[in-house]
Structure 1
């Protein structure tokens, strides 16, 4: 009997009941473990403990650790865009909206670096970030397209500007902050400074 199958049998014996939000509970716990331990040191048992469920429950939702990690990263990305959408509320121009996105992004990165040095020490996280790069840019592009379309309708960007291309341009700018630790003309460790930098320059090329 494999370890996973044994866990499933034990889980059934404990009488745990699936709940609609159990999957999200596990994914939230996984992201908290990533923050505390880094992906490389996070085990399925760690996630189960953090979520207050058995390891068998985790395996009922996720076939193995690799699937769990990928799902947790995707779940974390969705939470990120929820935060970004809230930060963008009330901003009246595309420059302000993308600036708010960049500020939120920078604050999250700084939190990770301060709490656990993940960006420099977790090789597994770096591998996932590189592998997920194309998907991350696609997600950010899709998220930004309605904002760019509205900005074009308001005349903030050129009437002939392609919405998809413009959204991808902005997405790549924001995503680039993942890959660097220093900047020459602004303080990358100050989210408000990052916001002002993006507000001043990112949208200019779309006019």
Structure 2
């Protein structure tokens, strides 16, 4: 069984200083102007790069934007994965994911996009590649929860993982809908009920 701490979400491309420089400049532009008004030319200007150097790594603006958000997601997942190792139960782990996900949505690039281009943020969460990357670190935690007797060992790991992902995304994306759970305590109590009834 793969251990949770062995899982890393990275790309060798991100080790290239030029890729990092390009993505840093692109992220600055998106934060300042939004995706629609950001151009490869503006990214080149902000990063003090030539357009040609950008196109050597990214075929077009769409690929560049995708690179920005893939990197942010991978950084978030790595940060979250490290934090989950300190959480005692599956409920606590999912609670942490929701709380940290909301914080990410309220700050920086996501906060500005949520105001100017909310449909773009929604589409990122609906992207199949976002789902695949996000869901990939949950199976080891599900297996650990089964071994600890927190959830039923009869529950299919893929089904449990899918449920956790759906819960996390809905609570991060729509914090004010339904019960409007605000505090960590409220979120944990809600998830405790859902996980025990759905996976117990």
Q: Give TM-score, length-normalised by structure 1.
A: 0.76
For the residues of structure 2 that align with 1:106 and 1:194, how far apart are their CA atoms? 14
3-state SS of the aligned residue for 2:179? Answer: coil
Compared CA separation, residues 187 and 198, structure 1 to 2 (3 A): closer
Q: How do 1:81-92 and structure 2 match up within 5 A?
A: 81-92=77-88
**Paired residue for 1:60, among 52, 56, 73?**
56
Please state if 1:148 is matched with 2:142: yes
Q: Answer with 1 or 2: which has the greater Rg.
A: 1
Contact 1:31 1:72 in 2 (8 A): yes
Structure 1 residues 138 and 114: CA distance shift in structure 2, 3 A: closer
Instruction: Give the secondary-structure state (helix, strand or coil) at the position aligned to 2:150.
Output: coil
Question: Which consecutive aligned stretches of 4+ in structure 1 deviate over 6 angstroms post-superposition?
Answer: none
- Counterpart of 1:200 in structure 2 is 192
| Cα distance per residue 1:25-73 (max 9 Å; x no partner) | 3223323332232212221133233434222221111111111112222
Please list every run of 5 or more consecutive structure 1 residues that lacks an aligned counterpart in the other structure: 1-18
- For 1:145 and 1:92, locate their aligned partners in 2 and report how far apart those are by CA, in whole Å: 16
C-alpha RMSD of the superposition = 2.6
Unaligned runs of 5+ in 2: 1-14
Partners of 1:145 and 1:67 in 2: CA distance: 29
> TM-score under structure 2 normalisation?
0.79
Structure-2 residue corresponding to 1:180: 174
1:8 alignment counterpart: none
After TM superposition, the structure 1 stretch with the greater mean CA deviation from structure 2, 78-87 or 94-103, is: 78-87
Aligned length: 185
